[in-house]
């Protein structure tokens, strides 16, 4: 008879496909059995009345990263993984970010050194490609894809990150040949810079004017454009941090045409609005990110997209900058114009509890959608499935247990990142994380960390099926040999 190291007993076990009441038996860090009345384990968790899902995957977060303007994120791998696991996440996929002129190999080495010995949960990397030079395209990226770095983020904006349409095509074509997933930050750079300069010159410097510069039209235009480039090359893409109706409509249109366009959104587009950026004092800076939060109507569009499958992935885009860091949210002093303020909001720890309480328990999304958005789709899209993102026998025993009765007032004081604020301060919710398990080890109970840094493992990613082209062409002759 199998003897389990841990049995989770009597919970509602939910996958992205079905749910049923039962037990999970865990042995040697893996899911060994799913069933009823499993034999007693060395440890037991009573999950009656609770929801048991695959541990969350946060597939978009910035950790121990120096931004393109030279500002360090407040979280390193120790604080980021601690915070993530206290919120039900068991895998993070941050970025190894290339600055122009850098070798991607060197960048990857550097990020591994930053993570080494510090992580409490498992992690992988996407690459940020800001300089697709000849060596990067011809040698480094093809080799890195083979080594498990099978996804890249590219940008249409930020002075030091943006790629031209031509460079976007180079990356898409490479991804097509080698089977990698391309994540795209889509905003029209020139239009935003033009607007920002004129806004500032006219004295409109407050954080809220960031939303005017980064308006929905610049987002939807760039979304449309990168979808067109992807269609031309016949290569799947994923549009990250979609903020509202106009970009959503571009993605719906592409999907209706049958294109493989995946989409991600984030908590800031559900729970924050432009009005938050116009709050007095420091509050406006707290909520400043790109694209920015929109309004209540757009929040409803985003909810609808989460419910009906428009969105595949729900990530935090955790980009933490502190107020007490002179290069952080107060950069340039209290009167600085909005372009001086680093973009980004924290969200690693609250991402899933908020989706659970406000999405699932309030009936806005189904249980299957909750699991798909929390973990399963990201695992599939980025080549981590079924080791991660599932409750299958043989999968890593990465599990989150959710308590529908737990009432929480969100506050920075209950979170475990290295931040000095949360934009969700004071939000009251019913339903929160109860227990997080990583490879069979209980790493957090009731939002408190138990695991020691250093136990997390690096996960090379498979080449994702999601990145396979559709095999359709806009051309009357097959010219795919030139891509
Ligand atoms: N926008 C990004 O593109 N990255 C980090 C944070 C942000 O607001
Ligand atoms: Zn981005
Ligand atoms: Zn980001």
- The pLDDT value given to residue 477: 95
Q: What is the pLDDT of residue 40?
A: 96
pTM (2 d.p.) = 0.98
Q: Are residues 219 and 328 in the same domain?
A: yes
Chain Cα centroid distance, residue 41 = 34
Give the number of the ligand closest to the Cα of residue 320: 1
Q: Give me the chain's average pLDDT, please.
A: 97
Would the CB of 439 count as within 6 Å of ligand 1?
Answer: no
Question: What integer is the mean pLDDT of 134-160?
Answer: 97
Show the domain range for 137: 56-372
Task: Supply the pLDDT for residue 69.
Answer: 84
Residues 21 and 160 in one domain: no
For residue 66, the CA-to-ligand 2 centroid distance in Å is 14
Domains identified in the chain, total number: 2
317 domain-assigned: yes
CA distances to 145, 148, 227, 447, 464 from 180, rounded to whole Å, are 7, 10, 16, 35, 7
Residue 382 within a domain: no
159 and 215: one domain? yes
Q: Are residue 292 and residue 346 in the same domain, yes or no?
A: yes
Sorting pLDDT into bands at 50, 70 and 90, what band is 1? low
Cβ burial, residue 164 (10 Å; 0-12/13-18/19+): exposed
Note whether 76 and 171 are same-domain residues.
Answer: yes
Residue 35 lies in a domain: yes
Same domain, 167 and 249: yes
Is the residue at 385 inside a domain? no
Per this entry, what is the length of the chain?
483
CA–centroid distance, residue 241 to ligand 2 (Å):
7
Q: Of 372, 404, 429, which one is at a domain's C-terminal end?
A: 372
Indicate which CATH number applies to the domain containing 20: 2.30.40.10
Average pLDDT over residues 167-188: 98
Which whole number is the average pLDDT over 55-80? 96
Is residue 119 within 8 A of residue 93, CB to CB? The reply is no
224 pocket-lining for ligand 1 (C-beta < 6 Å): no
Taking the centre of ligand 2 as the mean of its atom positions, its distance from the CA of residue 444, in whole angstroms, is 29
**pLDDT score of 32:** 98
Closest by CA to 314, choosing from 362, 265, 269, 358, is: 265
Digit-coded pLDDT (tens) for 94-111 = 999 999 999 999 999 999
Residue 296 Cα to ligand 3 midpoint, Å, equals 22
Structure token digits, residue 172 = 């898409």
Sign of torsion, CA 193 197 200 204?
Answer: negative
Q: Contact at 8 Å (CB) between 479 and 146? A: no
283-295 pLDDT tens trace: 899 999 999 999 9
Q: Is residue 462 part of a domain?
A: no
Q: Is residue 354 part of a domain?
A: yes
Average pLDDT value for residue range 323-334: 93
For 420-470, the DSSP string reads S--TTTT-EEEEEEEEEEETTEEEEETTEE-SPTT---B-PPPPPGGGS--
User: Is 289's C-beta closer than 6 angstroms to any atom of ligand 1?
Assistant: yes
How would you write 4-52 as a 3-class SS string? EEEEEEEEEEECCCCEEEEEEEEECCEEEEEECCCCCEEEEEECCCCEE
210-237 average pLDDT score: 98
Residue 317 CB less than 6 A away from ligand 1:
yes
CATH number at residue 96: 3.20.20.140
Q: 256: CA distance to ligand 2 center in Å?
A: 25
Best mutation site among 75, 186, 241 for ligand 1, i.e. most ligand atoms within 8 A of its Cβ?
A: 241
Classify 202 as helix, strand or coil: coil
Does residue 81 sit in the same domain as residue 117?
Answer: yes
Pair 36, 23: CB distance under 8 Å: yes
């Amino acid at each position: 008879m199998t003897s389990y190291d841990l049995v989770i007993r009597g919970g509602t076990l939910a996958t992205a496909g079905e749910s049923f009441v039962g037990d999970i038996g865990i042995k040697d860090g893996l899911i060994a059995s799913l069933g009823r009345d499993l034999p007693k384990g060395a440890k037991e968790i009573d999950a009656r009345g609770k929801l048991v899902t695959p541990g969350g995957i946060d597939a978009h977060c910035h950790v121990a990263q120096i931004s393109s303007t030279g500002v360090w994120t407040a979280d390193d791998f120790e604080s980021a993984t601690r915070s993530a696991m206290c919120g039900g996440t068991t895998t993070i996929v941050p970025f190894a970010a290339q600055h122009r002129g850098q070798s991607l190999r060197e960048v990857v080495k550097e990020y591994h050194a930053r993570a080494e010995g510090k992580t409490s949960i498992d992690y992988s990397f996407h690459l940020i490609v800001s300089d697709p030079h000849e060596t990067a395209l011809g040698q480094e990226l093809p080799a890195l894809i083979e080594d498990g770095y099978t996804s890249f983020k590219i940008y249409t904006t930020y002075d030091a990150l943006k790629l031209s349409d031509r460079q976007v095509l180079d990356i898409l074509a490479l991804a097509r040949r080698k089977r990698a997933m391309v994540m795209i930050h889509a905003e029209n750079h020139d239009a935003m810079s033009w607007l920002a300069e004129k806004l500032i010159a006219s004295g409109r410097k407050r954080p809220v004017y960031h939303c005017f510069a980064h308006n929905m039209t610049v987002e939807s235009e760039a979304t449309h454009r990168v979808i067109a480039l992807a269609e031309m090359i016949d290569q799947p893409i994923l549009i990250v941090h979609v903020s509202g109706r106009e970009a959503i409509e571009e993605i719906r249109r592409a999907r209706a045409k049958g294109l493989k366009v995946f989409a991600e959104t984030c908590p800031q587009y559900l729970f924050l609005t432009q009005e938050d950026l116009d709050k007095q004092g420091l509050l406006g800076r707290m909520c400043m990110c790109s694209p920015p939060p929109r309004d209540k109507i757009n929040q409803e569009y985003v909810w609808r997209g989460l419910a009906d499958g428009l969105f595949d992935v729900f990530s935090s885009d955790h980009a933490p900058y502190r107020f007490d860091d002179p290069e952080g949210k107060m950069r340039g002093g209290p009167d600085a114009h909005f372009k001086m303020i680093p973009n980004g909001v924290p969200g690693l720890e609250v991402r899933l509890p908020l989706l659970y309480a406000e999405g699932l328990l309030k009936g806005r999304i189904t249980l299957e959608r909750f699991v798909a958005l929390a973990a399963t789709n990201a695992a599939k899209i980025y080549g981590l499935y079924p080791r991660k993102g599932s409750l299958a026998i043989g999968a890593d025993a990465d599990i989150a247990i959710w308590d529908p009765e737990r009432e929480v007032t969100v506050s920075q004081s209950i979170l475990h990142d290295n931040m000095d604020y949360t934009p969700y301060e004071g939000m009251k919710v019913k339903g929160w994380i109860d227990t997080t398990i990583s490879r069979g080890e209980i790493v957090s109970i009731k939002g408190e960390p138990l695991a020691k840094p250093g136990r997390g493992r690096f996960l090379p990613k498979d080449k994702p099926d999601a990145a396979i082209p559709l095999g359709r062409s806009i051309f009357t002759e097959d010219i795919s040999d030139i891509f």
